[in-house]
Structures are given as structure tokens and as C-alpha cells.
Amino acid sequence: MPTQKSYPAFPQPGVLTRDDDPDFAQGILRADSLPGSVQVTFPGLSPVSFPTTKVSADRNTGRLSFISSNTPYRIRALREDDGEWLSQYKTYLPIEALYALSSGVSVPEAIDAYTMDDSVYVVGVVYSNAQGRWARIDGDWVLLSPTDDSFTNMSAIHIDPAKADAFLDFYDQNFVSVTDAESYEAPNGD
């Protein structure tokens, strides 16, 4: 029996959503089109086939759409707001950082507020995971060079994942004192 030819329909990490359930979102590694089905590879699982008769791609958005078992599905690219469910920090994160989090492999991540011994204020905030490090500047995450040593020799306050979104909102709007930052610190500095 000849094997069925598959074609990459969505060849990078993305998100599977359902039109009938706005809260449904699952990270995927890729999707392939086969005759009569879409095969979706989820992190840590064998590929799952979704029987369908028609697959369509929107050239403007890059979204893939199909209906399987009367359920309308879409596959889309990762967005910064996917950090709200992919990350332990439950906040918007850079898309590049989300690639590591959507892989299905446990990835250490951290948000640290950096201080200098002679300053009463936080001088920078950095998010890091296996993909890299990003500094918080004017409400956005800016990728740091792998050789950037701006925060070397500074003290770090590890931000509590449960308080990260509130801390970032506060940091984006104010000069943050070390004392204020410590109120968002992870228990035991973890």
C-alpha cells in the first residue's frame, strides 16, 4: 500500500483554535495536509489526524481553516498575548520567547528586576528563557544581545509569577523603588 503524501500546511509552531469555543487554544508544533485530513502535531504527542474535506489558507493572515466532525478549526501564528496561557507569568511576551514555551518541553523562565547597590530604584527588568533575554523598555520587550552584560554585577529581584502582570503594569508607568519591587518578589526569592 503506498504511503499518503503529506504537505506542510502550517510548518511552524502555532495555535489551534475553535470557532465555536473562544476559550479553546492549544499550542501546536506544525500541521500537515494529507488527502482527506489535516495532521496536527502537538507538543509531546503523536500527530493527531482531523478528518476534513477542505482546508483553506488565508493569504493575508496566514491562518489555516478547516472543519472536522462539524467543528470549525483555525490554526494561527503565535501572538504576544499567548504568553497569558503559555507562560507561568501569565503576561504578554515576545513571540520568539513563546516558541520555546510552545515546544512542550519544560523551559525555565524568569522575570527579574535589577538594582544597583547605590540606587534606590530598579534600573531594568529582564525576561529570560531558553530563546534569549529581553529587557522591558517603554512597555515592550526588546531582545538583548547574547553578549550584553548590562545587568552583570547587579542584584536581581526575582518576580513572583502570580504578581508579574501587575508588576509590569506598575513598572511601565512609574519609577519603581527597590522596596516596591520587593513587594512583587517571588517567595524565598525563587
User: Residue 117: is its pLDDT beyond 80?
Assistant: yes
> For position 61, what pLDDT does the model report?
86
Element (H, E) at 171: helix 164-173
Give the amino acid at 117.
Answer: D
Alpha carbon of 48 to those of 82, 148, 150: distances in Å?
Answer: 22, 42, 45
CA distance 87 to 96: 13
* Mean pLDDT score, 117-133: 94
- The Cα angle at residue 45 between residues 42 and 48, in degrees rounded to 5: 65
Which neighbouring-strand residues pair with 140?
Answer: 137
| Residue pLDDT, tens place only, 15-35 | 999 999 988 999 999 999 999
* Mean pLDDT score, 110-120: 95
Q: Which of 96, 90, 101, 82 is nearest to 167 (CA)?
A: 90
Element (H, E) at 22: strand 21-28
Residue with cell 472543519: 67
pTM of the model: 0.84
